Structures are given as C-alpha cells and as structure tokens.
C-alpha cells in the first residue's frame, strides 16, 4: 500500500526476457540496415552533389572560372605582328601547358620553329588550331584543317584578389616544378599525397590527437588536395559543414584529375604573402619576387624557405620575419631528411645559410598597377551593394598595355636627358580605348608606380591647351559655319562682356597677316582665329557642348577656346571618340562583365552629341593636322592606317590621336605644374606614334584604311589659301570634306586669267 493505493508489480522472468530480445533482434537489425542504407544513400547523393560542382568548374574552365580579375581575351589574327616565342609566353599566362593537358588547364600546345598547334579544352571551339608564322607575323590560321580569320584564347588572370597587385604569372605544369621543391612541399604539407585518395585518414587521426592535447585548435590534417579545394571553392570559415564539403570535394576532384595535375594546380594557386603592394601567388612568381630567380635555379635552402611559407605566409615571410623564416626552413629541411630525400650533411649545410633576398622590384614587375587600382575603385563603387563579386572580366588588353609602357618609357628616357639638370623628372600618362565601345584597352598612370601611385590618367586635371580646339570648331560647324569660311590671322584685341578685353597671341608669336580658312586655323592651331571663331559662335554654346562631350564645363571667358579648363587624359580621350564614332558619345568602361564571361550582343550606351557630318568634317581636318599641320612628325608612322589627331601645348605637352578603331591620349608634364618648355609635338607625339604603330601591328583590327564617311558628306577640291574651288592654275590644292550647305560656291579667281564663274554648288 503506497499513499492509499495498492500497486501490483509483474515480474518478468529471465527466460521471458530472452524470448523478447530474440524477437526484437530482427527489428533492430532491420533498423540498423535501414539507417545504414539511408546514410549510404545520403552519402552517395552528397558525393554526387559535390561532384557536379567539380564537373561544372572543369566544364567552364577551371582556371578561368576562379574569383579574381581577368584581362580581355587575346585574339589571334592573320597578319598580326607576333612571334612563336611571344605566343608561347601568352599561352602559358592564359593557362595552356605544353604537351598533353587534362581538363583542368585551358588547353595544351606544341611548338615548332614556325608553327604552334593549340588544342583547346573548351568544347565549344575548334579541337586543333594551327598557327603558322612567317618571320614575326602570323601568316595562317586554321581550325580543324579549315582556314579561319581569328582565334580567341582564354582570358589571362590579372589577380585573384582585386584589392592587391599581382605579378606576371605563368602557369606551371608538374614536370616544370624542380624535384627539390616538390620534395620540400610534400615533406612539410602532405608526405602521403601520392598514396591517399584526397583525404588522409592517418593524417586526420594525428591532427585529432594533437588538437586534443593542445589548447590551440585547428592544427594540420588537411591534404594538399583539401588545401587546393579550400582555396579555390570554399570560404575560410572553420565549421564542420565546411570541413565535410572540403572532404567530399577533395574525393571528387581526385577521381577526375591526376595527382600531378592537382599538385601543379596547388603550386600555381598557393598564396605566398605580400612583398610591397604585390600579392604573391604561385611558386614561380614567389621565386622571382623573393629571389629574382627562375624555379630551376632555386637552391635547397631557398626551396625549403618557400615551402615553409605555405602554412603562414605572413608569419614566415623572409622579407619581414627573417628569424621565423629561417626556423621554419630548418623544420622543412628536417622533414625532408626524415622522408629520405636529403642527407644529414645537406641539412647541416642548408640550415646554416643566411636568407638573402633579391632587391624588391615587385611593383615594377606587377601587371598594370594603375589599371588594377582603377578597376578596384570602379568595382567598389558599382558593386558595393550587390554582394561579393566572384569574377571581374575587364576590358584590359595585356599586349597593348606592354606596348604602352614601353613607348612611354622610351620617350621618358629621352626626356630625362633634356631635364637632367632638374631635381624633378617629368611625369607621363597614356590611355587607349575603343571609340565604339568605350572599352579601356591600356592605361599607364605614371612613369613608375613604385615611385608614385597617383593615376594621372584618371586623377590629374591639367590644361589641355590646343587639344581643346576641335570642340570649338565642332560647335562652329554645328552652328552653320563652313570649313572654308575665312578669318583674319593677325594680332587682335577682342572685347567681351561689353568693356572687357582679351588679346591672345599665336604660339611663337608668328602671324600670316592674311585671311585664312576655318579649316587652316585648326590645322595650323592658330590661337587668334580660334578665339575669333569662339566669340562668333558663342562661348555659352561651346561650354554647353563641351559638357555633352563629357568634359568639365569651362568658364565662359574667351580663353576657354585655347584650353584653359582642366581635364584628365581619360576625359579627353573619351571626348575625341565622338569624332570617330559618328558623333556618338560613348562612356569609358574598364569592367566588361561580372561573374560570367563578356558577351558581344550588349550594345554600349551612347548619346548623339554632334551630327555624323560634323564629326567627319572635324576628323577630316584633324587628318590634315598630321598631313601638313602641327603633327607632321606622325605622318606615315602607321602604314596603311588612317590617322587623325591634335597636338596641345600648355604648361604640359599633349597629343590626342586616333585611327578608325583606336583612340590614344598622351600627356607629359610636371606634377608641380612647372613649365615643361616643349610642344606637344616634341614631348607627347613620339610616344603616341610608337604606341599606335605597334598597337596596330599586333592588333590589325584596331587600324583601318579609312574613316567611315556618313551620308551628306561630299569632297571638294579647294585652293587651301583662300577656300575657293580650285582651278588648274591654283598652286595649293586640297581635297576637303564638306556638306552641301557648307560647300564653297565660287571658283578661285586669284590664279590664271579666267573670269569668275558661279559654282553649281549654291548655298541653300
């Protein structure tokens, strides 16, 4: 009796309990088998899921689907200036390797004396592309045995981290990694790499024991495959879920790639710290940045030092923590001895060697640092609310960037001799863009990024001088003036705002003291006539039209006609694009697409600024600037290509010029705004001419034999001295572009003895 209640307890005998267990045993077994089946099915489903991620990466290009910054794809064309050696270097940078290649690489290639055969891994293109050379020029392109006009390579990666500069990287195949470096990396990171299947159970057990006995968690256990997966697929968070994903991806990756490919990928992708502002990625770049050597030249001690950095590049950096780097190097040497790869004597000799680094030239060897900075700025501005940016495909053309850097360097070397007595050297900037798309193809923001990170292409506002004049004349043509309308070229004083006066002077103080045509005034860059044209056209109209070209709005003073309002080289190059683009304004662009490779179907935004006929008449005048004007030094420098352009001289030297498919602006000057003392033709034009010549040679599509002529343009031969229709007696005849409305209607009566006749081309 408990609390007033009676309770009876039935006691189950031992035999009964045995009978119950026997009856339950099949149920337990069934449940266990069911659980195992479900677990196995879940494991298979999970493996398939992660396998699809691997397959997707391989299908879209393992190297070109990584997060980071990419250059515009290189296009091979018949007639292109190119050599076998340069093509091989380009292929390596774009992820192609020599001999056979698995799907992890962009493709493979084989090279002969005058032939390179490319086997792309992209199934959407040709299976075999054959490039035949004649000297330093591509003579023939075939795809699967059929002639083709061009072939596009995979894009080259500029940086895996858009916030850091990257060096000039080339992809390594496994057989290009020296054995001493392979042994050093395996010894310290994954001795059983060639034995396990992606996840090393023995290594995990050892790591677990260390973690249990050590208060600091997270030690060891990851194989090289897991590290590669973690660096290329996953976030750095330390969770069981991420660790599980890492293991499954590693198992899947090992089933699809050879051990050699996985190890080579690891050596290409591994992050090895910073030197200066340059992010070092891959062992080949690390050898150059830290030791100034090729991989094959590394000593045992140097190879061990690089291998030791992998675990913690900042802590074991030989540039910043020499003692820690030495201690870690010696640990690697000991591991190499333990694995039987080196002797005790070799350890003793290598461990006593001091760490000696090459001079830090990392910034000098970095890829387009000014351009990368600008892309980073644009990316932060445009994508700050759109989440993490995975891949940024830029408009940047590596081959043109190199030519731009070389052209500027050669010109600056020449100018340094002129300014040798000065404490400060002049600076320079160059920008090149596609006038039809706005794609920025090359950008050099200064003579040395290591010395100055100011990007003068985008951030240095300087007076453009006479390079502004085409916008004055474009406004006049839009307002109805004719290219053959005449103005007096003589010293003059202009009155404006009722009682204010302005007395401009021609450069050098020379005057023809006669009437000259509007066209001649632009070709000869006559200041007095330009101010006269501006005042007759209207300063407000010119200022307003300048803003539609994308330039800062100038103050409405007569001097605006001579380029007193400060602009950047990028703004000026973009504005000149209107003249070659049928009067349409484009917007400069450095990012072609995000996440997905750029397509060709998206048309860039445009705005009609001036009429196609006005833009062509200005181009026709600027072509004459090169034929017989202030830029005569550029005549014939780009064979077979139509070019036009304008010099500018303020305190600085400018030249802005273009072909039918490429606009380039060059600025030379002092950062402190000191007087350069050279004309634009002397300072800037030589660099422009060299760049344009080489750019069209390597990219014939950027040239063009003629500027596209719109409807409404006709060509009239005039006497350039007076603007009248020429006769056979005129000594200075010139064929010019005009419209019906602006065409001359009188024949020249200054030469010969013929009476004056009315031209059939009458004014409207």
Catalytic positions, written as ranges: 189, 466
Bridge partners (DSSP) of residue 195 are none
Phi, psi of 444 (to 5 degrees): -125, 115
Please state, in angstroms and rounded to a whole number, the distance separating the CA atoms of residues 648 and 469.
Answer: 9
Per-residue CA distances from 357 to 130, 289, 324, 333, 496 (Å): 42, 9, 15, 19, 66
Nearby residues of 35 by Cβ (< 8 Å), 6 or more positions away? none
Please state, in angstroms and rounded to a whole number, the distance separating the CA atoms of residues 665 and 537.
Answer: 27
Can you list the alpha helix ranges (DSSP code H) found in 509-642?
518-523, 527-537, 539-548, 569-580, 612-628
Can you list the alpha helix ranges (DSSP code H) found in 257-351?
259-269, 283-291, 300-309, 322-338, 344-351
Please state, in angstroms and rounded to a whole number, the distance separating the CA atoms of residues 376 and 271.
Answer: 20
Nearby residues of 567 by Cβ (< 8 Å), 6 or more positions away? 461, 462, 464, 468, 551, 552
SS3 697: helix
Please state, in angstroms and rounded to a whole number, the distance separating the CA atoms of residues 392 and 389.
Answer: 7
CA 123 to chain centre: 26
Nearby residues of 658 by Cβ (< 8 Å), 6 or more positions away? 435, 576, 577, 579, 580, 643, 644, 645, 664
Relative to beta strand 107-111, strand 115-120 is antiparallel
CA 353 to chain centre: 40
Helix 539-548 crosses helix 469-478 at what angle (to 10 degrees)? Answer: 110
Q: For the CA atoms of the chain, what is the radius of gyration?
A: 35
Nearby residues of 151 by Cβ (< 8 Å), 6 or more positions away? 75, 76, 118, 125, 126, 129, 131, 141, 143
Residue 604 C-beta-side C-alpha neighbours within 13 Å: 23
Bridge partners (DSSP) of residue 746 are 758
Residue 286 C-beta-side C-alpha neighbours within 13 Å: 28
Nearby residues of 313 by Cβ (< 8 Å), 6 or more positions away? 271, 272, 273, 274, 280
SS3 554: coil
| Other Cβ atoms closer than 10 A to 442 | 27
């Amino acid at each position: 009796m408990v609390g007033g209640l009676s309770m009876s307890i039935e006691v189950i005998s031992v035999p009964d309990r045995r009978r119950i267990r026997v009856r339950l045993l099949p149920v337990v077994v069934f449940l266990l088998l069911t659980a195992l089946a479900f677990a196995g099915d879940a494991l298979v489903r999970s493996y398939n899921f992660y396998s699809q991620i691997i397959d997707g990466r391989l299908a879209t290009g393992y190297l070109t689907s990584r997060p980071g910054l990419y250059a515009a794809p290189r296009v091979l064309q018949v007639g292109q200036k190119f050599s076998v050696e340069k093509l091989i270097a380009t292929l390596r940078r774009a992820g192609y390797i020599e001999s056979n290649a698995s799907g992890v690489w962009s493709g493979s290639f084989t090279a002969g004396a005058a032939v390179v055969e490319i086997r792309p891994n992209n199934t959407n293109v040709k299976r075999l592309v054959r490039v035949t050379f004649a000297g330093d020029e591509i003579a023939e392109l075939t795809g699967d045995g059929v002639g083709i006009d061009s072939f596009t390579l995979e894009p080259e990666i500029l940086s895996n981290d858009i916030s850091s500069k990257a060096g000039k990287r080339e992809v390594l195949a496994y057989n290009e990694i020296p054995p001493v470096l392979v042994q050093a990396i395996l010894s310290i990171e994954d001795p059983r790499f060639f034995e396990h299947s992606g996840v090393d159970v023995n290594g995990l057990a050892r790591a677990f024991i260390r973690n249990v006995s050590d208060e600091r968690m997270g030690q060891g256990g990851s194989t090289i495959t897991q590290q590669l997966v973690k660096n290329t697929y996953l976030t750095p968070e330390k969770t069981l879920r991420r660790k599980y994903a890492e293991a499954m991806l590693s198992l899947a990756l090992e089933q699809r790639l050879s051990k050699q490919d996985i190890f080579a990928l690891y050596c290409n992708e591994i992050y090895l710290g910073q030197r200066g502002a340059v992010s070092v990625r891959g062992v080949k770049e690390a050898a150059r940045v830290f030791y100034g050597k090729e991989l094959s030249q590394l000593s045992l001690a140097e190879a061990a030092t690089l291998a030791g950095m992998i675990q913690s590049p900042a802590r074991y950096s030989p540039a910043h923590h020499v003692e820690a780097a030495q201690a870690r190097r010696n640990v690697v040497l000991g591991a190499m001895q333990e694995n039987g790869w080196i002797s005790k004597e070799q350890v003793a000799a290598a461990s006593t060697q001091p760490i000696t680094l090459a001079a830090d030239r990392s910034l000098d060897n970095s890829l387009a640092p000014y351009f990368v900075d600008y892309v980073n700025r644009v990316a932060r501005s445009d994508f700050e609310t759109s989440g993490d940016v995975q891949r940024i495909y830029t408009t940047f053309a590596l081959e043109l960037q190199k030519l731009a850097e070389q052209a500027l360097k050669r010109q600056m070397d020449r100018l340094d001799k002129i300014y040798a007595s000065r404490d400060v050297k002049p600076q320079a900037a160059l920008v090149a863009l596609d006038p039809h798309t706005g794609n920025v193809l090359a950008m050099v923001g200064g003579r040395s990024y290591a010395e100055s990170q100011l990007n003068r292409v985008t951030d240095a506002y300087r007076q453009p001088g006479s390079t502004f004049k085409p916008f004055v004349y474009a406004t006049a043509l839009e307002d109805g003036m004719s290219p053959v309308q005449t103005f007096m070229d003589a010293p003059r004083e202009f009155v404006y705002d009722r009682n204010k006066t302005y007395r401009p002077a021609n450069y050098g103080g020379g005057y023809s003291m006669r009437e000259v045509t509007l066209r001649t005034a632009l070709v000869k860059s006559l200041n007095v006539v330009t101010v006269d044209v501006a005042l007759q056209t209207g300063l407000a109209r010119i200022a307003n039209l300048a803003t539609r070209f994308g330039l800062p709005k100038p103050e409405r003073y007569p001097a605006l006609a001579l380029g007193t309002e400060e602009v950047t080289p990028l703004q000026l190059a973009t504005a000149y694009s209107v003249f070659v683009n049928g009067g349409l304004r484009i917007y400069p662009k450095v990012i072609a697409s995000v996440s997905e490779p750029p397509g060709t179907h998206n048309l860039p935004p445009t705005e009609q600024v001036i009429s196609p006929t006005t833009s062509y008449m200005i181009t026709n005048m600027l072509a004459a600037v090169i034929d017989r004007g202030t830029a005569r030094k550029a005549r014939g420098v780009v064979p077979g290509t139509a070019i036009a352009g304008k010099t500018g001289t303020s305190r600085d030297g400018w030249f802005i010029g273009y072909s039918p498919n490429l606009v380039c602006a060059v600025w030379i000057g002092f950062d402190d705004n000191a007087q350069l003392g050279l004309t634009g033709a002397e300072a800037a034009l030589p660099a422009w001419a060299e760049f344009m010549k080489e750019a069209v040679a390597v990219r014939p599509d950027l040239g063009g034999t003629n500027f596209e002529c719109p409807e409404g343009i006709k060509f009239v031969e005039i006497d350039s001295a007076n603007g009248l229709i020429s006769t056979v007696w005129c000594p200075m005849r010139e064929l010019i572009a005009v419209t019906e409305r602006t065409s001359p209607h009188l024949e020249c009566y200054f030469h010969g003895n013929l009476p004056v006749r009315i031209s059939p081309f009458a004014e409207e």
